[in-house]
């Protein structure tokens, strides 16, 4: 049997036998199924719904934030800043590796790898590759401020109360 | 008459029953002959990973320093203590930390087991890395052992990933911020980075989903993969002809020596031996079953007898390393408690937020550039490590520490090791608040 096979290989033109076609189809079928199963595992472990916070949330009325406020909202991971009548919502998730930056009057500082940002979130030192993003701030009909973390705005575009 | 004989047979059966059972379990008694010593490795499931005979060079304590064995034994300690800890652990953000405290208050040996698990994990990272250094500096990754080196590199990465997934589980500050940073690093990988991060966390931030996923990876997926790779790793040691050894280890000292004459009594390797070791593959030597028995008529070709029986030589060496490893872990666990930081505070990363020592080199790199320090450079390093045996194909200097013929390769690897150690030292001692440079003195 094996001698016969070898003889076939020696011949320059190998005839396509039914057996070879079937073997090829079987291999491809098994290989294809294997790839599909591996892929479907990834589909399975990728959650379709998450239990995290909504991207759009209310933070109270403007009166809760008197002028001069620089306060960090930990759960929402956003800093609310008010200078006079101008307000802004700046992310406090470090653009480097996701630590929460500390909020001070002089700016933001990351305790993990030493990134530093100025008051408006621009990088002044450390490994952070991008400035801290600003999120859209708006006044809802009920008089409450709303932050939408899904909408980044150009830094420096203040919201006037 | 017939009746009494039957009774007699039955009594005999009863009397012999303990021995019958014993003999059905253990196929031969403790050996006192060479044939018996050969049989131990053949007939015992737990010993058959050993070759019947092992080269004397393999048993030299300072050649392997037992580092592979230490890694294996730490892995076993980790499995046992890990399974025990699972009886009390709940992978829930609201319960995990309390369960850690419960180990202190209301679980017998709770703290001790957690200490053992933590210190053995640290030890395993160190042992696996040192084992890799040993294999490199002795040139043991060369043909035909190239692929076993590759498996070894994967085992090292799995060891790191296991400890990484493990330290999220206490759900303390270190856990939370280390994982926040670690998964953010994964996010920097090109193309698939963000997807990978999302799959790993099961969410956009570190939370309950991430804890559950890391738990499953830590207690099931990674150990199973590691177990399989360890099995292949050991199997290949045997198939690749045992541990590497220098050429002169097999040289016939005088041409007249045709018979094994007197084999010096096995020098008891009382410090260490290797993971599992080699059947001696000599070109002129062919083992049949009769080759197991030492005697003048079994020799084929003019080769010296440089092997000794695995039982008891290798076995005792292994036992010695095992006792030493377990003793070490127990002593460290008795004196030092595994750290447990404050419970997770999503608002305030500890300052500085430091990973365990073996990731501080990486964290130091990352503080210069997230992509290059966290993804680029490590990826290149791993790629080079994987390809080392296929670049460095010279056959000289195998089986010797710091062989002259391998000066270049050894120097390059030494630079790699030293640079990483320096990065770890900087990250550990020279970084303070906000990751600023501070002097420890």
Convert the pLDDT of each residue in A109-143 to its tens digit. 887 777 889 888 889 888 888 889 999 888 888 88
pLDDT at A14: 78
pLDDT tops 80 at residue B45: yes
Peptide bond into B144 cis (omega under 30): yes
Q: Which of A8-12, B50-54, B432-436 has the highest mean pLDDT?
A: B50-54
Q: Is A114 left (phi over 0), alpha (psi -120 to 50) or beta?
A: left
Size of interface A-B (CB pairs under 8 A): 90
pLDDT tops 50 at residue B53: yes
- Residues B112 and A54: their CA atoms lie apart, in Å, by 42
Interface test mutation site (partner B, options A42, A52, A98, A124, max chain B beta carbons within 10 A): A98
Q: Which of A57-71, B114-128, B403-417 has the highest mean pLDDT?
A: B114-128
Tokens of B22: 């014993």
- For residues A57 and B330, the model is more confident at B330
pLDDT at A10: 53
Would you call B204 and A72 a contact, using CB atoms and an 8 Å cutoff?
Answer: no
Assess contact for B74 and B82: CB atoms under 8 A: no
Would you call A113 and B367 a contact, using CB atoms and an 8 Å cutoff?
Answer: yes
Instruction: Report yes or no on B41 lying in a domain.
Output: no
Residues of B with CB under 8 A from a CB of A: 177, 180-181, 183-185, 187, 198-199, 202-205, 207-209, 213, 346-353, 363, 366-371, 373-374, 433-436
Block mean pLDDT (10 aa), chain A, length 161: 50 80 96 95 87 80 86 84 88 85 84 83 86 89 86 84 77
Q: Which of B274-288, B362-376, B398-412 has the lowest mean pLDDT?
A: B274-288
Q: Cβ contacts of residue B166 below 8 Å, gap of 6+?
A: B121, B218
- Residues B28 and B19: their CA atoms lie apart, in Å, by 12
Q: What is the mean pLDDT of residues B115-123?
A: 96
Instruction: Report yes or no on B138 lying in a domain.
Output: yes
Instruction: Report yes or no on B254 lying in a domain.
Output: no
pLDDT at B386: 94
- Residues A103 and B37: their CA atoms lie apart, in Å, by 72
Nearest chain A Cα to B203, which residue?
A: A50
Assess contact for B182 and A29: CB atoms under 8 A: no
Nearest chain B Cα to A76, which residue?
A: B347
Q: How confident is the model at residue B9 (pLDDT cuts 50, 70, 90)?
A: confident
pLDDT at B287: 53
Q: How many CB atoms lie within 10 A of CB B255?
A: 7
Q: What is the mean pLDDT of residues B185-191?
A: 82
- Residues B216 and B408: their CA atoms lie apart, in Å, by 43
pLDDT tops 60 at residue B75: yes
Range of the domain at B397: 63-244+314-435
- Residues A27 and A21: their CA atoms lie apart, in Å, by 10
Number of structural domains in chain B: 1
| Average pLDDT score, chain B | 83
pLDDT tops 50 at residue B229: yes
Helix (H) or strand (E) holding A125: strand A123-125
Instruction: Report yes or no on B21 lying in a domain.
Output: no
- Residues B426 and A35: their CA atoms lie apart, in Å, by 45
pLDDT tops 90 at residue B191: no
pLDDT tops 70 at residue B430: yes
Return the closest-CA partner of residue B57 out of B298, B289, B247: B247
Instruction: Report yes or no on B160 lying in a domain.
Output: yes
Q: How confident is the model at residue B8 (pLDDT cuts 50, 70, 90)?
A: confident
Which chain B residues touch A96 with a CB distance below 8 Å? 184, 366, 370
Q: Which of A98-102, B88-92, B244-248, B431-435 has the lowest mean pLDDT?
A: B431-435
Instruction: Report yes or no on B238 lying in a domain.
Output: yes
Instruction: Report yes or no on B93 lying in a domain.
Output: yes
The beta-carbon neighbor of A99 closest among B203, B353, B373 is B353
pLDDT tops 80 at residue B429: yes
* CATH number where B205 lies: 1.20.810.10
Q: Which of B139-153, B172-186, B377-391 has the lowest mean pLDDT?
A: B172-186
Interface of A with B in 77-136 (CB under 8 A): 77, 96-100, 102, 109-114, 116, 126-127, 129
- Residues A160 and B81: their CA atoms lie apart, in Å, by 59
C-alpha torsion sign, points B368, B369, B375, B376? negative
Q: Cβ contacts of residue B218 below 8 Å, gap of 6+?
A: B162, B165, B166, B169
Q: What is the mean pLDDT of residues B394-418?
A: 89
Please report, for residues A55, A136, B299, the alpha-carbon distance to residue B207 in angstroms, rounded to integers and kept in the order given: 16, 25, 66
CA distance B320 to chain A (A): 43
Helix (H) or strand (E) holding B149: helix B146-166
Tokens of A124: 């002044």
Would you call B367 and A127 a contact, using CB atoms and an 8 Å cutoff?
Answer: yes
Phi, psi of B431 (to 5 degrees): -120, 125
Q: What is the mean pLDDT of residues B274-285?
A: 46
Q: How confident is the model at residue B281 (pLDDT cuts 50, 70, 90)?
A: very low
Convert the pLDDT of each residue in B333-358 to its tens digit. 999 999 888 888 877 777 777 778 88
Q: ipTM of this predicted complex?
A: 0.75
Helix (H, G, I), strand (E, B) or coil at A161: coil
Percent of chain B with pLDDT over 70: 85
Interface test mutation site (partner A, options B215, B434, B438, max chain A beta carbons within 10 A): B434
pLDDT at B264: 43
Peptide bond into B282 cis (omega under 30): no
pLDDT tops 50 at residue B257: no
Instruction: Report yes or no on B266 lying in a domain.
Output: no
Q: Which of A90-104, B85-99, B252-266 has the lowest mean pLDDT?
A: B252-266
pLDDT tops 70 at residue B223: yes
Task: Assign 3-class secondary structure to B79-117.
Answer: HHHHHHHHCCCCCCCCCHHHHHHHHHHCCCCHHHHHHHH
Return the closest-CA partner of residue B373 out of B361, B385, B383: B361
pLDDT tops 70 at residue B84: yes
């Amino acid at each position: 049997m094996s001698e016969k096979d070898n003889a076939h290989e020696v011949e320059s033109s190998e005839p396509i036998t039914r057996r070879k076609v079937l073997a090829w189809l079987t291999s491809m079928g098994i290989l294809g199924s294997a790839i599909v199963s591996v892929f479907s595992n990834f589909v399975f472990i990728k959650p379709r719904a998450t239990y995290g916070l909504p991207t759009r949330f209310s933070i109270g009325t403007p009166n809760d934030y008197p002028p001069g406020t620089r306060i960090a909202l930990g759960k929402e991971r956003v800093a609310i800043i008010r200078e006079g009548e101008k307000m802004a919502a700046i992310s406090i998730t470090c653009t480097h590796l996701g630590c929460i930056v500390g909020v001070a009057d002089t700016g933001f500082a990351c305790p993990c790898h030493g990134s530093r940002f100025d008051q408006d979130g621009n990088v002044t030192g450390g490994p952070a590759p991008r400035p801290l993003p600003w999120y859209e701030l708006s006044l809802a009909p009920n008089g409450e401020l709303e932050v939408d973390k899904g909408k980044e705005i150009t830094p420096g575009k203040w919201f006037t109360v | 008459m017939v009746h009494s004989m039957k009774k007699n047979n039955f009594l005999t059966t009863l009397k012999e029953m303990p021995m019958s059972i014993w003999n059905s379990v253990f196929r031969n008694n403790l050996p006192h002959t060479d044939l018996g010593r050969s049989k131990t490795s053949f007939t015992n499931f737990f010993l058959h990973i050993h070759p019947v005979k092992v080269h004397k060079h393999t048993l030299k304590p300072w050649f392997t320093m037992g580092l592979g064995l230490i890694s294996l034994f730490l892995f076993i300690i980790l499995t046992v203590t890990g399974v025990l800890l699972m009886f009390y652990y709940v992978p829930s953000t609201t319960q995990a930390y309390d369960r850690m405290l419960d180990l202190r208050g209301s679980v017998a040996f709770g703290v001790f087991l957690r200490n053992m698990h933590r210190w053995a994990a640290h030890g395993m990272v160190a042992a696996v890395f040192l084992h890799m250094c040993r294999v490199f500096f002795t040139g043991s990754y060369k043909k035909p052992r190239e692929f076993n080196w590759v498996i070894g590199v994967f085992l090292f990465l799995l060891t790191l990933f296991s400890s990484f997934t493990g330290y999220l589980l206490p759900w303390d500050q270190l856990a939370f911020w280390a994982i926040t940073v670690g998964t953010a690093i994964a996010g920097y990988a090109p193309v698939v980075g963000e997807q990978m991060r999302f799959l790993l966390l099961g969410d956009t931030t570190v939370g309950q989903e991430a804890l559950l996923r890391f738990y499953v990876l830590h207690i099931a997926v990674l150990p199973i993969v590691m177990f399989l790779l360890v099995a292949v790793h050991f199997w290949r040691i045997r198939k690749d002809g045992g541990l590497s050894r220098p050429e002169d280890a097999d040289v016939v000292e005088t041409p007249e020596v045709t018979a094994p004459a007197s084999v010096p009594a096995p020098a008891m390797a009382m410090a260490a031996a290797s993971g599992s070791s080699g059947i001696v593959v000599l070109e002129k030597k062919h083992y049949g079953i009769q080759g197991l028995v030492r005697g003048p008529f079994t020799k084929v070709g003019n080769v010296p007898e440089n092997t000794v029986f695995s039982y008891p030589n290798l076995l005792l060496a292994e036992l010695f390393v095992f006792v030493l490893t377990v003793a070490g872990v127990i002593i460290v666990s008795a004196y030092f408690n595994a750290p447990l930081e404050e419970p997770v505070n999503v608002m305030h990363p500890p300052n500085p937020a430091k990973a365990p020592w073996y990731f501080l080199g990486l964290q130091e790199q990352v503080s210069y550039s997230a992509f290059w320090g966290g993804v680029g450079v490590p990826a290149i390093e791993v790629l080079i490590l994987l390809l080392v045996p296929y670049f460095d194909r010279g056959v000289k200097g195998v089986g010797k520490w710091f062989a002259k013929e391998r000066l270049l390769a050894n120097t390059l690897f030494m630079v790699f090791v030293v640079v990483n150690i320096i990065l770890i030292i900087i990250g550990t001692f020279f970084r303070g608040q906000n990751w600023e440079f501070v002097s420890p003195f």
